[in-house]
Amino acid sequence: MENHEKPHFGYIYPRPAVTTDCVIFGFDMTEELLKVLLIERGIEPFKGRYALPGGFIKIEAKTNEYGLVVEERNESLLECAKRELKEETGFDVQNIYELGTWSTPGRDPRCITITDAYYALVTIQPVRGGDDAADAKWVPLYQVLNTIKNLPEGMRFLAFDHDEIITAAHIRLQQQLCFEPLAFKLLPKRFSMSTLQKLYEAILEKNFDRRNFARKMLDSGILDVFPTESRNINYQLNLEKYEEFKRTGRLSNLIF
């Protein structure tokens, strides 16, 4: 977000700066917690506060004689956001979805800034021992949300308006779970039923009966079954079956 502040020529029709921010969700299988990736800001504004990873969109394009951007970029906002994430957090994010824009006046003290927010689903690699990005940190979502909820009126926990963004991202995740197989993008290819249940419980903030949950999942037919060496069973999403499940309109059976 920094090297945007170099001097440049003024222009008559001011345009807002455009940035992207991303709520990266990950499911910590060992702690059985849904977490988000936050970054400690090293510079002002909000130096020392945690923030969502993101930054200014850098458009590589030329302007015509009127100052209008004419040369085609070779990427969309989404692709920009992906590239930024790669640069900033080292994550090669595949499952990323748009959340919405934030443009409240004054949200960025430096200049008028519109943020296009995303949320992404990644599998937290069990590479214990040191996170990649030095100042990046996986924080339990429920802790962040609780902190935000209990904040005194007018106070904020995260930098900028990231409190709102992360809250909205969680709600969206909860809702989209009804329509898309999002949970499976937070898990390794194969997983146990209890892990899947723990994840659903973490996302929806609800507890389910173990046996009813398993039956519902299995009856839906969207899971392939894989025995293991032990008596335990592993499962894997069958995407074709899921899509058929959607087509045949029985999706509401998977809503909890």
Partner DNA sequence: CAGAAAACGCGTAATTTTAACACAAAACAA
Partner DNA sequence: TTGTTTTGTGTTAAAATTACGCGTTTTCTG
Name the residue nearer to DNA (CB basis): 167 or 192: 192
| 155 contact choice in DNA, a copy of itself, none (CB below 5 to 8 Å, kind-dependent) | none
What gap in Å lies between CA 222 and CA 235, rounded to an integer? 10
User: Quick one: what does residue 127 bind among a copy of itself, DNA, none, with the CB cut-off 5 to 8 Å set by partner type?
Assistant: none
Minimum Å gap between C-beta 160 and DNA is 39
Partner that binds at residue 244, options DNA, a copy of itself, none, CB closer than 5 to 8 Å by kind: none
| Calpha distance 137→146 (Å, rounded) | 18
Measured CA to CA, the distance from residue 164 to residue 99 in angstroms comes to: 11
Report how far residue 34's alpha carbon sits from residue 202's, in angstroms, rounded to the nearest whole number. Answer: 6
**114 is a contact residue toward a copy of itself (CB under 8 A):** yes
* Residue 209 binds: one of DNA, a copy of itself, none (C-beta under 5 to 8 A by kind): DNA
Q: Let me know: does 103 contact 161? Beta carbons within 8 Å.
A: no
Task: Give dist(CA 189, CA 233) in Å, integer.
Answer: 13
**Cis amide bond preceding 45, omega within 30:** yes
Number of other CB atoms surrounding residue 137 within 10 Å: 14
Choices 27-35, 36-44, 52-60, 193-201; region in contact with a copy of itself by CB under 8 A? 52-60
Q: Which two tokens stand for residue 215?
A: 């039956």
Residue with tokens 């995260």: 158
10 vs 227, beta carbon nearer a copy of itself: 10
- Whether residue 100 contacts residue 114, with contact meaning beta carbons closer than 8 Å, is answered with no
Nearer Cβ to DNA, position 91 or 200? Answer: 200
Work out what residue 17 binds among DNA, a copy of itself, none; the CB cut-off runs from 5 to 8 Å by kind. a copy of itself
Contacted by 8, from a copy of itself, DNA, none: CB < 5 to 8 Å by type:
a copy of itself
CB of 45 to a copy of itself, least distance (A): 14
Tell me how far apart the alpha carbons of residues 102 and 122 are, in angstroms, rounded to a whole number: 23
The site string for a copy of itself over 11-40 (x = CB under 8 A, - otherwise) reads: xxxxxxxx----------------------
Give the binding site for DNA (CB under 7 A).
192-194, 209-212, 214-216, 230-233, 250, 253, 255-256
Spatial contact of 59 and 155, defined as CB atoms under 8 Å apart = no
In whole angstroms, how close is the CB of 231 to a copy of itself at the nearest point?
34
Q: Does 68 bind a copy of itself (CB under 8 A)?
A: yes
Determine contact, residues 124/35, Cβ cutoff 8 Å: yes
